[in-house]
Amino acid sequence: MSEEKTLFQKIADKEIPSEEVYSDEDYYAFRDLNPGAPTHILVIPRKPIPKITDATEADAALLGRLFLVANKIAEAEGLTEKGFRYVINCGDDGEQTVYHLHLHLLGGRPLSWPPG
């Protein structure tokens, strides 16, 4: 693993400011700088897994709990009843721009499908 911190590690470690939504020992969540919906939150494991496809069997529980943390945030944001969307972009065609695994939580308006 590289010694250089990822952008999102720097954000989770408060070296770069962000609007915190949730924090614990293993996860950090913050509002996206360029929101694509009224609520747009990024939920990250503190562990810098670059892409979802880099996760291993050892990450199974971490990935599972990522969704449970996100569910709690969705509930706290009042999104559970009307619904919302989780997105994980992967690689170039997925338009992933930050190579630290993150789950987008988008909600607060009807979301069209399929995405662009």
- Which residue numbers are catalytic? 102
Q: How far is the CB of 57 from ligand 5GP (least distance, A)?
A: 24
- Scanning 61-69, 74-82, 91-99, 108-116 for contacts with ligand 5GP by CB under 6 A, the matching segment is 91-99
Q: Which is nearer to ligand 5GP, 4 or 81 (CB)?
A: 4
Torsion of CA 79, 72, 101, 61, to 10 degrees: -140
Distance CA 36, CA 28 (A): 19
- Scanning 45-53, 64-72, 74-82, 96-104 for contacts with ligand 5GP by CB under 6 A, the matching segment is 96-104
Residue among 15, 34, 37 nearest 97 (CA): 34
